[in-house]
Amino acid sequence: MAQVTDYLVLGSGIAGLSFALEASRHGEVTVLTKRAADEGATAWAQGGISAVLGADDSFERHAEDTRVAGAGLCHDVVVELCVREGPDVIRFLREHGAAFDGDGAGGLALGREGGHTARRVAHVGDATGREVERALLEAVRERPNVRILEWHTGVDLIVASRYGGPDRCAGAYVFDERAGRVDTWLARATVLATGGAGKVYLYTSNPDVATGDGIAMAWRAGAEVANLEFIQFHPTCLFHPLAKNFLLTEALRGEGAVLRLPDGTAFMAQHHPMADLAPRDVVARAIDHEMKRTGSEHVLLDITHRPAEFVRDRFPFIHERCLRKYGLDITAEPMPVVPAAHYLCGGVTSDLHGRSTLPGLWVIGETACTGLHGANRLASNSLLEGAVFARRAAARLEGQIGELRAAPQPAVPEWQVGTATPSDEAVVVTQSWDEIRRLMWNYVGIVRSTSRLRRASRRMAVLEEEIREYYWKHTVTRDLLELRNIAAVAELVIQCAASRRESRGLHYTIDHPETSADWAEDTVLKRGFPPHLRGR
């Protein structure tokens, strides 16, 4: 029997939890998360949240920094509203228990990161996301009309028009991993806050849950997606045999860390006037260039010239983790680093209130393409965007919930297993997973070419057909659902990248190395239609 809720939220990071807190004032909220509630990317965020909080800063400067980083694709109205609502986001999080670092004089300690022209990053040491996640989870768990269901993975969105109803999202089929079954969830509003898709790539700073689930589900349901060619590769992930995906925050460079070749030569000044504080796309390409030029497996991130006590106090988590787990003392020796897939600037398109192009479906956080980031995200604007649009979505739904409750629920059938059987060939999933991630890293990575993208597209077509056949033959598991989703997102990234015949922001192709004013538009995709450009 279908279960019904006012608001069905998929994802338990800053976006999903902020929405749940605000929406619980006027409705029942069910938050589904596919592992433990605190295992998403929010808890991994180190740097902080950018907001205009200092006397020497201004909304205009924050907006301009965002636009410069975004390489001409940021939506001005979105930039302005996010920047201006930034201070209120910090207040909201502090009211719900997030303990940001103070400056000793009654204000907040503010950091500076790449692309910023002022100190405006509110932080909690070098583990901001972990503190924000803790505070929001505690606050949400105190709300009697919010329930969090862990180990629940979205399978597909329910579109009512497929069952004789209106063309709107009516909920989702959800895999309850512990019970081993797929449940039917109906909702007055369905909110995707499933995060990004870093696991589409072989090397990533993202947690294992970042498999693009929300984007793939929305795409299959007919919602519009955009700008998926803009994959941000974080310049500095630790290069160490024991470090799977350990990020070294950009705040290190904000506090003076210098990128060097293995022989000790600093190189960023040759690539950008801001040197080590250049935007992430510039730094990642510079590192990629220097590694290929010198044949090195990594470069070095060096903060040893700063006082050891300062480094330990400012970056306690990184210092402790590197020392205890990897045997590296960052106060005394440079850290070997490489770029890794970090953030998806595109996603499911949304309006200024988080609404997708499919009625009934809302999308917030990294899953969404709001227009804030353009072709490259400015550091520490991600948690800001997630909270801003979560609160805006909840506020808009408050005025609609009465009407939504009065509408009849569609007659949706229960999940049908049919002739599907459990698989005894899990190697098929792991092999396909590995092949997709290597293919994307080698052909659709930091530097691209037309021929590489064509190869990637041809191979993905074969893989997707193999995965589709396997999916319908066997009963679902979380691994199978994630494989199906990364395959879908990989193909969408390839389509977007192949259609943009210029280099801009995070998309760099050797066949079209210049940025063109003719391409200063979003790359838009909808199922059944070829990619097209649309003005901002």
Find, among 203, 228, 201, the residue nearest to 214 by Cα: 228
Q: Which residues pair with 225 in a beta bridge?
A: 348, 525
Q: Which residues pair with 7 in a beta bridge?
A: 29, 189
Q: Where are the domains of the chain?
A: 3-193+207-223+343-406, 240-337, 427-518
Query: Residues 83-141: pLDDT tens digits?
Result: 999 999 999 999 999 999 999 988 999 999 889 999 999 999 989 999 999 999 999 99
Q: Is residue 395 classed exposed, middle or buried when 0-12, 13-18 and 19+ CB atoms within 10 A define those classes? A: middle
The tokens of 374 are what? 């353009």
pTM beyond 0.85: the answer is yes
Find, among 185, 153, 187, the residue nearest to 400 by Cα: 187
Phi first, then psi, for residue 465 (nearest 5°) are -65, -40
The pLDDT, as a whole number, for residue 418 is 86
pLDDT tier at 400, thresholds 50, 70, 90? very high
The pLDDT, as a whole number, for residue 536 is 74
Cα distance between residue 310 and residue 316, in whole Å: 10
Domain covering 240-337 assigned CATH 3.20.20.70 in the classification? no
Q: Around 55, how many Cα atoms within 13 Å sit in the side-chain half-sphere? A: 1
Query: Are the C-beta atoms of 149 and 31 separated by less than 8 Å?
Result: yes
Cα distance between residue 36 and residue 148, in whole Å: 10
Examine the pLDDT at 424 and tell me if it is beyond 80. Answer: no
**DSSP character at residue 271:** T
Average pLDDT, the chain: 95
Sheet holding 258-260, edge to edge: 231-238, 335-344, 299-302, 258-260
Examine the pLDDT at 224 and tell me if it is beyond 90. Answer: yes
For helices 76-95 and 382-398, what crossing angle results, to 10°? 90
The pLDDT, as a whole number, for residue 206 is 94
Pairwise pLDDT comparison (426 vs 297), residue with the higher score = 297
The pLDDT, as a whole number, for residue 280 is 84
The pLDDT, as a whole number, for residue 238 is 95
- Strand blocks (E) in 164-291: 169-176, 181-192, 225-226, 231-238, 258-260
The pLDDT, as a whole number, for residue 25 is 97
Find, among 303, 201, 223, 313, the residue nearest to 256 by Cα: 303
Does residue 337 sit in helix, strand or coil? strand
Domain covering 427-518 assigned CATH 1.20.58.100 in the classification? yes
Indicate the pairing of strand 258-260 with strand 231-238.
unpaired
pLDDT tier at 427, thresholds 50, 70, 90? confident
CA-based Rg of the chain, rounded to a whole angstrom? Answer: 22
pLDDT tier at 470, thresholds 50, 70, 90? very high
Examine the pLDDT at 420 and tell me if it is beyond 90. Answer: no
Examine the pLDDT at 425 and tell me if it is beyond 80. Answer: no
The pLDDT, as a whole number, for residue 250 is 87
One-character DSSP codes across 38-50? T-SSGGG--S-EE
Catalytic residue set: 280
Domain covering 3-193+207-223+343-406 assigned CATH 3.40.1390.30 in the classification? no
Query: Residues 338-397: pLDDT tens digits?
Result: 999 999 999 999 999 999 999 999 999 999 999 999 999 999 999 999 999 999 999 999
Q: SS in 3 state form for 419-475? A: CCECCCCCHHHHHHHHHHHHHHHHHCCCCECHHHHHHHHHHHHHHHHHHHHHHHHEC
pLDDT tier at 243, thresholds 50, 70, 90? confident
Query: Residues 137-187: pLDDT tens digits?
Result: 999 999 999 999 999 999 999 999 999 889 999 999 999 999 999 999 999
